[in-house]
Amino acid sequence: MSILEVREVAREFGGVLAVDKVSFMVQENEIVSVIGPNGAGKTTLFNIISGVYAPTAGQVLLRGREIQGKKVFQSAGLGLTRTFQNLQLFSRMTVLENVMTGRYMRTSSGFLAAALRLPQAVREERLTREKAFSCLEQVGLEACAERPVTMLSFGEQRLVEIARAMAMEPGLLLLDEPASGLNPAEKLQLAGLLRRLRDSGITILLVEHDMNTVMELSDRVIVLYLGRKIAEGTPAEVQQDEMVVAAYLGGEKIC
């Protein structure tokens, strides 16, 4: 069974179809990219899958369960999380605390257990710290663990956001333009990290503008144009697709 299935999903904004009957599947342990010129509907599609918007038609299935219209935290509870193009870090926390927050779903102590420092809460807190630290090690930021997250560079902050998502151990990770704002060295580092994540069992769906990253990293690519899916296939197939080339002509050139 595919981990994600998008079935005939549509979303209308005041008479304009931002996404028009888009369907595709993502299999376990794949890296799939959604690309398309500006205004193609990538971000809207992303927001529908992650639960920010409800679709006006169609279904989104996560491991066979319908999640369209569910609250964001409910989808997260089913193993889906995302990162943000413009970063959504917790600015008043240290790097480690940011990542520790990612363990929320994997821990259970509530107000009472926390207030009374019940043994369960104390044990969970220790495990949370250890797990968060190991996620930071995987992105190479363990030395910055105790620093305020706002002191880090943009590229490092992006890695913190990914580490925070990793801490959740999601089944499916949505990445919203993870390469934007990164320098070439950081992009290479990111690609390596995403491949390691995929190998560790996290399926990845990303929206990305940076064609080098997309073509190098993706197992499959889905191309949107004016709200519709116009192509789907391996990077090599998509690059030779006439419709894709036409859609990008005059706009961005696909490499």
Residues forming the site for another protein (CB under 8 A): 50, 52, 71-73, 76-77, 81-82, 84, 88-93, 97, 100-105, 107, 109-111, 113-117, 121, 124-125, 128, 164-165, 168
Q: Residue 24 to residues 17, 63, 91, 163, 221: CA-CA distances in angstroms? A: 18, 14, 36, 27, 11
Instruction: Rank residues 72 and 226 by Cβ distance to another protein and give the closer one.
Output: 72
Q: Residue 10 to residues 30, 63, 132, 234: CA-CA distances in angstroms? A: 24, 20, 37, 24
Instruction: Rank residues 83 and 218 by Cβ distance to another protein and give the closer one.
Output: 83
Cβ 137 to another protein, closest distance in Å?
A: 20
Extract the runs of DSSP E, i.e. beta strands, from the chain: 4-13, 16-26, 31-35, 57-62, 65-66, 80-82, 172-176, 203-207, 220-225, 228-233
How far apart CA 202 and CA 94 sit, in angstroms, is: 25
Q: What is the dihedral of CA 164, 166, 171, 176, to 10 degrees?
A: 60
Cβ 197 to another protein, closest distance in Å?
A: 17
Cβ 87 to another protein, closest distance in Å?
A: 9
**Is 173 strand, coil or helix?**
strand
Closest CA to 146 of 134, 159, 133: 133
Cβ 184 to another protein, closest distance in Å?
A: 28
Cβ 187 to another protein, closest distance in Å?
A: 23
Instruction: Rank residues 52 and 249 by Cβ distance to another protein and give the closer one.
Output: 52
How far apart CA 55 and CA 68 sit, in angstroms, is: 7
Instruction: Rank residues 147 and 228 by Cβ distance to another protein and give the closer one.
Output: 147
Cβ 76 to another protein, closest distance in Å?
A: 4
Cβ 111 to another protein, closest distance in Å?
A: 6
